[in-house]
């Protein structure tokens, strides 16, 4: 190459307005003034020997690590002959410097090098960012209600489109609750629009307190609000929320020295039940809302009449349960647990009974599942715990030895953050000793939640309270996992006892469970033992602890005291 040409190329390289770099083994071996200007670096020597990622933030805006992305880009350039992409360097003052990069691998003097040209696009990127922010601001202004700050109709329609298509894909159900305030016009007419606005704002601050985190609250305009409930567990969940909304609306509102009483009418439509278009869903909720108005306001209605009836029953049941708890209409029954070898009482299990209006004793099988679903199980179990702890203390004080008290515990309770705190306070308040207590959690509830409750179980055991796995055998859990769980006792489910000693499969399961408990060095107890044959088989096979009608049905505390006085070799005729 002539000296002229060499000079020409050198000048072109040096004077180019694009930043240029030559990389060898990924590191800079040459560069021009423009790249120094772009990066704010004074001397070329400061760049020599550096990888591009050495002068870049750790992460690129697309989330990739700079050190990994540069290798990936280099590979792409080698495969395709050249490669163009966005890159961010770190400028002199630590700011992001956006460049548009083109990498071209070339061979010179049998040496593979990469020619890199960078165009500074920081200004353009900054403008784009500003534009985006302004667009988002405009979006917020357009999609939010100026008075309450809640999302508005436009937002609602967009969101509804998204969630219905998601619900369709994942086969989930959702509900729309359309709420219109009753006689809101009267407030506006009598107290003025400013007072009306304050009422709307008050409602907009109350409602988020009753909806779930994943629900969307929208003000459609005027006195109309909408709640979009996603992932319905049960259709009637929408009714439970509607009831909560009506209750929170009914609380008095204090405005400008006035006490106002507000109510609302709610219409509910369901997806995919009230299928069809989005318009159809909204219309169904709207029609249902007018039905609620026609039924005397301050109530909710589903689009389908049948559902309204079922939902009302459910809401009614929850209300009845809560009222009964306040009125002390629950009882605790106790069922003895016996050592079959010597007939001695080893403890008892506490069961709740609903003494509805003090006229009829209702079994837990009628309401425990519902209480679990609605969360009522939490206050109910707390109540049972307190009652049973107090009873234990009383029995010990009376000189009896009631053994260990077993309490059924819902997973909902165990997963509460304050559970340990509450348990400790309850022990302290009642004077019950931890070593008198064993907590039962069913295998079905514990296994899927093991990671979440592991620490809690460990803490419970550290306090001196025992843990038993209830309904053992029906949960099909991996037996090998049992050795890692902090437990003290297995409770064999009644299904395996029922057909003893005739069913071969049940016999094998019982024997395996007994062996397992021996190997893990934990206790084992059989429940639902009803016949002499079952009792004999279990005793001979090595499961001496049992509970069941053969000894006694669950009974009131006063009857239990009779048990303390006698040995339990014979079946006792006790009330249920």
User: Minimum Å distance from CB 141 to Mg ion?
Assistant: 57
User: Minimum Å distance from CB 395 to ligand C2E?
Assistant: 18
Pick between residue 156 and residue 330 the one whose CB is nearest to ligand C2E: 330
Pick between residue 370 and residue 549 the one whose CB is nearest to ligand C2E: 549
What SS3 string covers 44-66?
HHHCCCCCHHHHCCCECCCCCEH
Distances, alpha carbon 219 to alpha carbons 104, 154, 189, 215, 297, in Å: 56, 10, 21, 13, 20
Q: Where are the alpha helices (DSSP H) in 209-304?
A: 237-250, 278-294
Cβ 166 vs Cβ 172: under 8 Å: yes
Pick between residue 303 and residue 412 the one whose CB is nearest to ligand C2E: 412
Among 263, 277, 273, 265, smallest CA distance to 303 is for 273
How many CA within 13 A on the CB side of residue 176?
35
Peptide bond into 225 cis (omega under 30): no
CB atoms within 10 A of CB 572: 16
- When CB distances are held under 5 to 8 angstroms depending on the partner's kind, the choice from ligand C2E, Mg ion, none that residue 52 binds is none
Binding mask 442-481 for Mg ion (x = CB under 5 A): ----------------------------x-----------
- When CB distances are held under 5 to 8 angstroms depending on the partner's kind, the choice from Mg ion, ligand C2E, none that residue 235 binds is none
Residues 75-134 that bind Mg ion (CB under 5 A): none
DSSP, residue by residue, 185-234: HHHHHHH-HHHHHHHHHHHHHHGGGTS-TT-EEEEEETTEEEEEE-S-SS
Cβ 527 vs Cβ 565: under 8 Å: no
Q: What angle do CA 414, 207, 177 make, to 5 degrees?
A: 95
Pick between residue 52 and residue 528 the one whose CB is nearest to ligand C2E: 528
Cβ 529 vs Cβ 323: under 8 Å: no
User: Minimum Å distance from CB 491 to Mg ion?
Assistant: 7
- When CB distances are held under 5 to 8 angstroms depending on the partner's kind, the choice from Mg ion, ligand C2E, none that residue 335 binds is ligand C2E
Rule CB under 5 A: say whether 493 interacts with Mg ion: no
User: Minimum Å distance from CB 130 to ligand C2E?
Assistant: 58
Q: Which two tokens stand for residue 258?
A: 């006035």
User: Minimum Å distance from CB 409 to Mg ion?
Assistant: 9
Pick between residue 331 and residue 507 the one whose CB is nearest to Mg ion: 331
Binding mask 355-394 for Mg ion (x = CB under 5 A): ----------------------------------------
Applying CB under 6 A, which residues contact ligand C2E?
335, 351-352, 363-365, 368, 377, 381, 384, 408-410, 470-471, 527-530, 548-549, 554
Look at residue 98 and give its three-state secondary structure: strand
Q: How many whole angstroms separate alpha carbon 260 and alpha carbon 243?
A: 20
- When CB distances are held under 5 to 8 angstroms depending on the partner's kind, the choice from Mg ion, ligand C2E, none that residue 363 binds is ligand C2E
User: Minimum Å distance from CB 337 to ligand C2E?
Assistant: 10
User: Minimum Å distance from CB 419 to ligand C2E?
Assistant: 13
Q: Find the residue with minimal CB distance to ligand C2E.
A: 548
User: Minimum Å distance from CB 352 to ligand C2E?
Assistant: 4
- When CB distances are held under 5 to 8 angstroms depending on the partner's kind, the choice from Mg ion, ligand C2E, none that residue 351 binds is ligand C2E
Distances, alpha carbon 231 to alpha carbons 165, 308, 310, 431, in Å: 13, 19, 20, 44
Cβ 512 vs Cβ 490: under 8 Å: no
Binding mask 5-34 for Mg ion (x = CB under 5 A): ------------------------------
- When CB distances are held under 5 to 8 angstroms depending on the partner's kind, the choice from ligand C2E, Mg ion, none that residue 549 binds is ligand C2E
Tokens 């514990």 sit on residue:
446
Pick between residue 105 and residue 475 the one whose CB is nearest to Mg ion: 475
User: Minimum Å distance from CB 406 to ligand C2E?
Assistant: 8
Q: Where are the alpha helices (DSSP H) in 411-531?
A: 411-414, 419-430, 443-446, 450-462, 479-482, 495-498, 504-520
- When CB distances are held under 5 to 8 angstroms depending on the partner's kind, the choice from ligand C2E, Mg ion, none that residue 377 binds is ligand C2E
User: Minimum Å distance from CB 526 to ligand C2E?
Assistant: 10
Pick between residue 182 and residue 471 the one whose CB is nearest to ligand C2E: 471
- When CB distances are held under 5 to 8 angstroms depending on the partner's kind, the choice from ligand C2E, Mg ion, none that residue 347 binds is none
User: Minimum Å distance from CB 413 to ligand C2E?
Assistant: 7
- When CB distances are held under 5 to 8 angstroms depending on the partner's kind, the choice from Mg ion, ligand C2E, none that residue 60 binds is none
CB atoms within 10 A of CB 184: 19
Q: How many whole angstroms separate alpha carbon 151 and alpha carbon 147?
A: 11
User: Minimum Å distance from CB 555 to Mg ion?
Assistant: 16
Helices (H) and strands (E) in the chain, counts: 21, 21
**Contact with Mg ion (CB under 5 A) among 265, 301, 408, 456:** 408
Q: Which stretch binds Mg ion (CB under 5 A): 241-249, 369-377, 405-413, 550-558?
A: 405-413
Q: What is the CA radius of gyration of the chain?
A: 36
CB atoms within 10 A of CB 145: 19
Phi, psi of 476 (to 5 degrees): 50, 35
Q: What is the largest CA-CA distance in the chain?
A: 118
Among 244, 175, 251, smallest CA distance to 216 is for 175
Pick between residue 314 and residue 535 the one whose CB is nearest to ligand C2E: 535
Q: How many whole angstroms separate alpha carbon 497 and alpha carbon 346?
A: 20
Pick between residue 180 and residue 440 the one whose CB is nearest to Mg ion: 440
Pick between residue 119 and residue 498 the one whose CB is nearest to Mg ion: 498
Strand partners, 219: 225
Among 375, 399, 323, smallest CA distance to 564 is for 399
Rule CB under 5 A: say whether 440 interacts with Mg ion: yes
Residues that bind Mg ion (CB under 5 A): 408, 440, 470
């Amino acid at each position: 190459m002539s000296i002229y040409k060499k000079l020409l190329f050198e000048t072109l390289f040096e004077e180019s307005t694009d930043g240029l770099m030559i990389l060898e083994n990924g590191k800079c071996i040459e560069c021009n003034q423009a790249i120094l200007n772009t990066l704010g670096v004074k001397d070329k020597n400061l760049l020599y020997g550096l990888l591009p990622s050495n002068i870049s933030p750790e992460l690129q805006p697309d989330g990739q690590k700079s050190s990994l992305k540069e290798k990936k880009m280099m590979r792409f350039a080698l495969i395709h002959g050249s490669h163009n992409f966005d890159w961010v360097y770190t400028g002199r003052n630590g700011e992001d410097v956006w460049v548009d990069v083109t990498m071209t691998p070339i061979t010179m003097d049998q040496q593979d090098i990469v020619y890199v040209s960078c165009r500074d696009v920081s200004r353009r990127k900054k403008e784009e960012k500003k534009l985006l922010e302004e667009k988002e601001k405009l979006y917020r202004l357009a999609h939010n209600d100026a008075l309450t700050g809640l999302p508005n109709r436009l937002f609602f329609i967009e969101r509804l489109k998204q969630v219905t298509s998601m619900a369709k894909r994942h086969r989930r159900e959702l509900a729309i609750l359309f709420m219109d305030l009753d006689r809101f016009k009267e407030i506006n007419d009598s107290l003025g629009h400013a007072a009306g606005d304050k009422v709307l704002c008050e409602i907009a601050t109350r409602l988020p307190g009753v909806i779930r985190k994943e629900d969307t609250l929208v003000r459609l305009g005027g006195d109309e609000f909408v709640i979009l409930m996603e992932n319905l567990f049960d259709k009637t969940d929408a009714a439970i929320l509607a009831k909560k909304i009506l209750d929170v609306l009914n609380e008095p509102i204090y405005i400008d020295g006035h006490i106002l009483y507000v109510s609302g009418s709610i219409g509910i439509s369901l997806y995919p039940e009230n299928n069809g278009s989005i318009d159809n869903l909204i219309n169904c909720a709207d029609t249902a809302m007018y039905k609620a108005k026609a039924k005397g306001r301050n109530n909710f209605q589903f689009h389908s009449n049948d559902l309204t009836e079922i939902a009302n029953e459910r809401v009614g049941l929850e209300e009845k349960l809560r009222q009964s708890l306040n009125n002390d209409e629950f009882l605790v029954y106790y069922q003895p647990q016996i050592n079959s070898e010597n007939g001695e009482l080893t403890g008892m299990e506490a069961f709740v009974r609903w003494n509805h209006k003090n006229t009829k004793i209702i079994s837990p099988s009628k309401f425990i599942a519902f209480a679990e679903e609605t969360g009522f199980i939490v206050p109910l179990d707390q109540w049972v715990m307190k009652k049973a702890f107090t009873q234990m203390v009383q029995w010990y004080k009376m000189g009896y030895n009631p053994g260990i008290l077993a309490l059924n515990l819902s997973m909902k309770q165990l997963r509460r953050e304050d559970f340990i705190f509450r348990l400790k306070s309850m022990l302290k308040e009642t004077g019950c000793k931890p070593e008198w207590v064993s907590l039962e959690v069913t295998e079905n509830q514990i296994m899927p939640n093991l990671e979440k409750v592991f620490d809690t179980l460990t803490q419970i055991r550290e306090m001196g309270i025992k843990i038993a796995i209830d309904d053992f055998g029906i949960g099909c859990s991996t037996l090998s996992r049992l050795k890692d769980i902090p437990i003290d006792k297995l409770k064999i489910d009644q299904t395996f006892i029922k057909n003893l000693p005739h069913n071969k499969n049940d016999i094998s399961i019982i024997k395996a469970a007994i062996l397992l408990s021996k190997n893990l060095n934990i206790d084992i107890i059989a429940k639902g033992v009803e016949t002499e044959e079952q009792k004999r088989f279990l005793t001979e096979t090595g499961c001496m602890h049992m509970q069941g009608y053969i000894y006694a049905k669950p009974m009131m505390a006063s009857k239990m005291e009779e048990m303390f006085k006698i040995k339990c070799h014979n079946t006792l005729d006790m009330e249920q």
